[in-house]
Amino acid sequence: MSLLDLFTPAPDAALLAEAGARWLSQGYRADPSGFSPAMWLAMAEQGWTALRLLEEAGGLALPLAACLPLVHEIGAIGLREPLIESALIAAPLAASAGADANLLSAVAEGRRILALWDDPAAAVAGGDEVTDLLVFDPEARTLALCAAAEAPGRFWQGLDGRRLSDRAAPADRQILLQGAPAVAAVARARAERLACHAAEGCGALSRALALTARYLGERRQFGQPLAQFQVLQHRLADMLVERELALGLAAILCPGDTPPSEGMTDRALAGLARSFREVGEAAVQLHGGMGMTDEMEIGRVFKRLLHLATALGGETAPRARIRAALAHRIDEETRA
């Protein structure tokens, strides 16, 4: 997907996003627990759990790029269920690794939920609703499939209300890939997950901008709306600029024929993390103290933006890699 495609998506992707935005605004209700079985089945009926699976598994066989406009809408509404993690990341990875057709069909129908556990030290997306895990062992260089019950853990809700879990090493697992093919498959899934985080975050930025503009238009002080004060107009304009910049950076992470260089990826990650943080902070500040309360939607959007900024690697880590690469390049040129 090119930068132009991100702003003007292909017709199929645009239709998917438009229908998704309509259903999310009219039919989606976030469950306080972080997962609603009824909402999950409703999304399965929409075909969302089968977006990237092949037709023989009951899927729609869409590339990730065609799904990213929908991910943008998911970010705007604050969907809590692990749709992105299961349907867009783990399901196509399992399919490419040769997982059982019955499992893939069950995932497409919404009867089973997959999650990728690719870092032993990291939390796993989803709680006890996850039925199956794809487990990557970086030391053994294996990608395995196991029932979630074989890897018991602790479940909790994160900062943004989504469910997470700590898992124990599974007692029984089925090796799907090993060696270089396993490493390459997981690397591709990780890149796709970053692209989804970026698109979802841009959706949350758009929502933060809309909520703030509406609040400033409704809230009055000294006999006029806050939106009439020039200094606040400038703050809102800065938020809009950051949102547009984030869209361009997100386009860098979109999967395509030629992946971006590591340096370009790190620059995009650092820039996105900064935009997510700065726009979220500005939106809350412009809402005043009530912006951080659970009653205000902007507080929930801000928490999701903070989570996504962290999921992208934050600002410090990619900048450290950029500095190290530049220092190495300077050292080589000096020696030459």
DSSP one-letter string for 251-301: HHHS--SSPPPHHHHHHHHHHHHHHHHHHHHHHHHHH-GGGGSTTSHHHHH
Q: What CATH fold (topology level) applies to the domain 183-335?
A: Butyryl-CoA Dehydrogenase, subunit A; domain 3 (1.20.140)
Predicted pLDDT of residue 7: 56
Say yes or no to pLDDT of 3 above 60: no
- Reduce the DSSP state of residue 75 to 3 states and report it: helix
pLDDT 10s digits, 200-235: 999 999 999 999 999 998 887 887 888 788 888 999
Q: What is the mean pLDDT of residues 246-256?
A: 91
Alpha-carbon distance 329 to 322, whole Å?
11
* Encoded amino acid at 132, one letter: D
Using pLDDT thresholds of 50, 70 and 90, give the confidence band for residue 8: low
Fold of 3-178: Butyryl-Coa Dehydrogenase, subunit A; domain 1 (1.10.540)
Q: How confident is the model at residue 43 (pLDDT cuts 50, 70, 90)?
A: very high
Q: What is the secondary structure of 79-136 as a DSSP string?
A: --SSHIIIIIIIHHHHHHTT--HHHHHHHHTTSS-EEEE--TTSPEES-TT--EEEEE
| Domain span(s) for CATH 1.10.540.10 in the chain | 3-178
Specify whether the CB–CB gap between 287 and 296 falls below 8 A: yes
Rounded-to-integer distance, Cα 90 and Cα 87, Å: 6
The identity of residue 166, as a single letter, is: D
Q: What confidence score (pLDDT) does residue 5 get? A: 57
Nearest CA-CA partner of 96 in 65, 53, 49, 44: 53
- 65 in Cβ contact with 196 (< 8 Å): no
Q: So what's the pLDDT on residue 255?
A: 82
Kindly indicate the confidence band of residue 1, based on its pLDDT and cuts at 50, 70 and 90: very low
The answer, yes or no, to whether residue 319 has pLDDT greater than 90, is yes
The pLDDT assigned to 221 comes to: 80
Q: Mapping DSSP to helix (H, G, I), strand (E, B) and coil, where does residue 28 land?
A: coil
Which one, of 187, 285, 189, 278, lies nearest residue 232 by Cα?
A: 285
What is residue 2's predicted lDDT score, i.e. its pLDDT? Answer: 46
75 and 160 in contact (C-beta within 8 Å)?
A: no
Q: Where in the chain is the domain with CATH 1.20.140.10?
A: 183-335
The band of 53, judged by pLDDT with boundaries at 50, 70 and 90, is very high
Integer angstrom CA distances of residue 239 from 44, 177, 200: 35, 44, 17
Residues with Cβ within 8 Å of residue 222, at least 6 apart in sequence: none
**Is residue 4 over pLDDT 70?**
no
Amino acid 279: pLDDT = 97
**Looking at the predicted structure, is the pLDDT value of residue 161 above 50?**
yes
